[in-house]
Amino acid sequence: MALAGCNAFPSTSEGPATNSGAPPVLQILSPKSGDTVQAPIEVRYLITGADASIVLELRIRVSVGDPAIFTSDLSVNGIEGTVTMPANKLITGHHDIRFTLVRADGTALAGSQPVTVKNVTIVGQR
């Protein structure tokens, strides 16, 4: 029997809980460091260490450049899938791209480590 408002893996103030208590881990499958990509950019991801029921509470925050010249939070649709970085003339060129798991409200997910894809050439709008 399911109770309204209950979740087998409830969110805490630090972020969604997992079976092991460890934070979910984000892997970026593509693009890879050194790739040349066309905007809008399809990003393939895998989230491990998280139950499917909490994954929909998460977003992938994409930050282009260091310091960031463009940031966007993208909704995930499952443990593995794709998200699309929108085309934007600010992101054209050679950049590092940082991907971070955040909660749906935009707050950081405690303990989750960002993934940086280095030296990506983004072609598109100018």
Other beta carbons within 10 angstroms of residue 1's beta carbon come to: 3
Instruction: Give me the domain span that covers residue 79.
Output: 22-123
Domain total of the chain: 1
The first and second tokens of residue 60, run together, are 């992938």
Predicted local confidence at residue 3, as pLDDT:
34
Domain-embedded: residue 2: no
Domain-embedded: residue 78: yes
- Cα(22)–Cα(10) distance, integer angstroms: 13
Task: List the CATH number of the domain containing 99.
Answer: 2.60.40.10
Domain-embedded: residue 86: yes
Domain-embedded: residue 42: yes
DSSP state of 65: T
Domain-embedded: residue 1: no
Among the listed residues 63, 69, 62, the one whose alpha carbon sits nearest the alpha carbon of residue 90: 69
**The whole model's pTM is what?**
0.82
Walking along the chain (126 residues) 10 residues at a time, the average pLDDT comes out as 34 46 92 97 95 88 96 95 94 96 92 96 81
DSSP state of 22: S
Half-sphere exposure of 74 (CA within 13 A, CB side): 25
Domain-embedded: residue 31: yes
Domain-embedded: residue 12: no
Domain-embedded: residue 14: no
